[in-house]
Structure 1
Amino acid sequence: MSIDVHEIKQAIKDKGHHWEAEENHMTALDETTRKKMHGAIPPADAKADPTADEAVDATTLPSSIDWRKNNGNYVTYVKYQGACGSCVGFSATAVFESMIAIEHELPVSQLDNSSHMLIDLSVADAFFCSNHGANCNGWWPKDYFSANHTRGVVQENLFPFADAFPGGNIKPTHEVKITCDSVPHRAESAFTYTNVHTVNSINAAKAHLAKVGPLAANLKLYTDIFSYKSGIYKHTKGQYDGLHCVCIVGYNDNNGDGYWICKNSWGSKWGMQGFFNIGYGQCDMEGYPMFGMSGTTLPPVVYRNHLVGSENHALQKGEALVSNNGHYQLIYQKDGNLVLSKTADKTQLWASKTTDKASDKVVMQADGNLVMYEGATQVWASNTAGHPNAYLTIQMDGEAIIYHEETPVWSTKQS
């Protein structure tokens, strides 16, 4: 059944609701494909039990919270699940990414979605390679958090979501076999967490959002939401389409017309750049438990995408830069050697030859010089001072380069 956006607009007007509808890539989908754009599957005992939570004094809660602008942005970019019932994977992974940013004080830049660390986790690894299995048959957020609790999740560039599908076409049918890549040295690159939280009441959810971070939540989808453009969504017109999981990144009591602020997995061209507001009490959203997590731990190798001189970014021992395709890394080894190598088999391409020299960090200085220090003493340097605001990056061809105003001033191939 097609979605008549004109009828939805008229119904919004007739009922006096405060949201806008539009034709978009979601309303253009046929019904079969559209039903693959959700995939939350609740267990028999899934309904929320508000009495299970400790009582929360509502008067102590802030009237609003938004982790996109809470002394910085702690919400990563919106992703696209395609025609695969993986919304639980995307929403729970979004919670995980935000908690890494929050707990390790790594706000995401509003300009380029970069925290200078790749807080971009692999939904494919979490969804297809855990005990869920390599399929698009849906899941439940509690099961996601249980399954990935100890195994952790690696970065997106080590197993991109599209790579799980032949030809990168995220439109699985019963004839398509999803593949689960084996990530080399997985234990060295997996982010983990220690605590899983279940929230059953509205005030407990607000308290968690205000004091801890985002939550994975489920809502009943009605066909009008596919046409959402902006405003506070309230179910207005359309039939039930299935259960969907999203990431709640905040809330706003809005003087009595309160709403949850949600991050979806239908791409940035849907809604408000991939986000939407939904009124309290809508679509049975509070009728199911919400799930969160905390106690995130960084992997032994912390992968960043570049070091920026103007911010005096540094690599501590065991930390590394990685190319955007994940094939190359520049790691500051615990023996004091700075080594460029292939990620898969650790083939060495370049080294600073500073093994066993006393040093504790490598700093990209504001003057453009990449320097290895022990205390205040230089142990090694790229000798590129005089290039303020330079930055170091690892290219996808395996070369490490320091750029100043887009001009290379140092590289591993020339040193």
Structure 2
Amino acid sequence: MAEEKISIEQLQASISGKGYDWEAGVTSVSELSEEEQNFLLGLPVTEEELEGMKEAIEASVETFSYPTSVDWRNHAGKDWTTPIRDQSSCASGMDFSVLAAMESRAKIQKNNPNLSIDLSEAYLLFCGCGKCCSTGWYFDPALNFIKNTGVADEKCYPYRPVDQDCKPCPDWKNRVWKIQDWSSIVNVSQRKQNLAASGPLIGGMAVYQDFLYYKGGVYRHTSGKLSGYSPKTIVGYDDNQKCWICKNSWGTGWGENGWFKIAYGQCDIDTRFNMYAIGKIIPAIEKGCGYATYALIDYYFAGTSRILWAYAGNRWRYRRIAKHEVAGIVKLLNESKRLYVCWNGNQITFVRGWKN
């Protein structure tokens, strides 16, 4: 039997009556059918698993130091997050939440908030889990897949919210990003410490009917039945408001333009779900060829070899050359109007000069 929809007027009255500080109204997902709303969940977990995590969390009492508040959307005056996505009618929330954290941590590790990175949720879901649009999957296998296999970029495998075979672009092996490791964080204060020091985390929460009507403020479950469980990206916290700051993947027509705040301890986010931290990120090995804008030989370091530097593909790349090759390379540079190079990552693999 289909669940009866919540009355917005009654929900708003209940929020006010309980003294809660969040706004409810019609959103881009509140009027979807029950079947369509079920696709927004995508975190298959049993009560036994939740109780096991709860016991581990309650047993962790160690304290860690951390700032009063952190928000990676505005950290040191810069935005380290990526745009809000829309998973649509596919239970791919795990893929969006994991990759949102990974994209942000890549920016942080590179110390470059403008780093261009858009990883493929379709690759992670359909190549890692299979045809899982109706079920979704769990943190551990998703993170292990990225660690062992990697994930390609969005252009290599664009997202479509429908079950499909794994069909990335032909050169996907040269375009996958990996993670060196990941960890599960049980202790709540350690979560804040890790989030403040290293970037967004991945977590889970119970989703009740009223959450679909969330438009802003610090959410607290007010009314409505449990719909299921959903993964989220935690991008910050605020001890003054006593809330987590999170990124969702339901589009910008829900919440605070796709973002939300949830009070500590609400909806199992602290008490029955671990949070997950991505470790060192291993970028895709970039391969390509093109004309160099600049080229020079580094004579500074003594020894038996020198280094040829060429600026190509929007970055400096290098090739070590033996001492006896230096004269030939210098002649090539002097006689050539253009220098054509190929590269594998930052290393030059081929050099050819053109006189016209």
TM tier, smaller: 0.7 to 0.9
Instruction: Return the offset for 1:180.
Output: 2.1
Is 1:292 the counterpart of 2:277? The answer is yes
Overall identity of the aligned pairs, in %: 28
CA distance, structure 2, for counterparts of residue 372 and residue 186 of structure 1: 23
Instruction: Return the offset for 1:179.
Output: 3.0
CA distance, structure 1, for counterparts of residue 279 and residue 149 of structure 2: 15
Q: What SS does the corresponding residue of 1:156 show, helix, strand or coil?
A: coil
Is 1:134 the counterpart of 2:139? The answer is no
Q: Could you tell me which residue of structure 2 aligns to residue 50 of structure 1?
A: 57
Instruction: Return the offset for 1:55.
Output: 2.3
| AA partner of residue 135 (structure 1) | C
Q: Could you tell me which residue of structure 2 aligns to residue 268 of structure 1?
A: 252
Q: Deviations over 1:36-75 (max 9, x none)?
A: 1111112643424137768233xx2100011111122111
Q: Could you tell me which residue of structure 2 aligns to residue 151 of structure 1?
A: 149
Q: Which runs of 5+ in 2 are unaligned?
A: 298-306, 320-332, 340-355
Instruction: Give the 3 Å change call, closer, same or farther, for CA 182–8 of structure 1 in structure 2.
Output: same
Alignment of 1:243-282 (within 5 A): 243-254=229-240, 257-282=241-266
Q: Is the 8 A contact 1:124 1:161 kept in 2?
A: yes
Q: Is the 8 A contact 1:371 1:380 kept in 2?
A: no
Q: Could you tell me which residue of structure 1 aligns to residue 194 of structure 2?
A: 208
Instruction: Return the offset for 1:95.
Output: 1.0
Higher RCO structure, 1 or 2 (CA under 8 Å, sep 6+):
2
Q: Deviations over 1:275-316 (max 9, x none)?
A: 000000000111211112111011111xxxxxxxxxxxxxxx
Larger % of helix: which?
A: 2
Among 291, 310, 314, the residue aligned to 1:338: 291
Q: What SS does the corresponding residue of 1:55 show, helix, strand or coil?
A: coil
Count how many residue pairs are aligned between Structure 1 and Structure 2: 305
Q: Is the 8 A contact 1:23 1:227 kept in 2?
A: yes
TM-score normalized by the length of structure 1: 0.68
Q: Could you tell me which residue of structure 2 aligns to residue 186 of structure 1?
A: 172
Q: What SS does the corresponding residue of 1:248 show, helix, strand or coil?
A: strand
Instruction: Return the offset for 1:183.
Output: 2.3
Instruction: Return the offset for 1:360.
Output: 2.4
Q: Could you tell me which residue of structure 2 aligns to residue 81 of structure 1?
A: 87
Q: What SS does the corresponding residue of 1:38 show, helix, strand or coil?
A: coil
- Aligned Cα root-mean-square deviation (Å): 2.9
Q: Is the 8 A contact 2:152 2:175 kept in 1?
A: yes
Q: Which runs of 5+ in 1 are unaligned?
A: 109-114, 163-169, 302-317, 319-330, 340-351, 365-369, 383-414
Q: Could you tell me which residue of structure 1 aligns to residue 219 of structure 2?
A: 233
Instruction: Return the offset for 1:104.
Output: 1.1
| AA partner of residue 210 (structure 2) | D
CA distance, structure 1, for counterparts of residue 49 and residue 207 of structure 2: 20
CA distance, structure 2, for counterparts of residue 103 and residue 125 of structure 1: 23
Structure 1 segments of 4+ aligned residues over 4 angstroms from their partners:
51-54, 370-374, 377-382
CA distance, structure 1, for counterparts of residue 44 and residue 318 of structure 2: 53
CA distance, structure 2, for counterparts of residue 198 and residue 26 of structure 1: 31
**Larger Rg belongs to:** 2
Q: Deviations over 1:157-185 (max 9, x none)?
A: 111111xxxxxxx3x5xxxx523213212
CA distance, structure 1, for counterparts of residue 98 and residue 79 of structure 2: 18
TM-score normalized by the length of structure 2: 0.78
Q: Is the 8 A contact 1:22 1:227 kept in 2?
A: yes
CA distance, structure 1, for counterparts of residue 57 and residue 203 of structure 2: 15
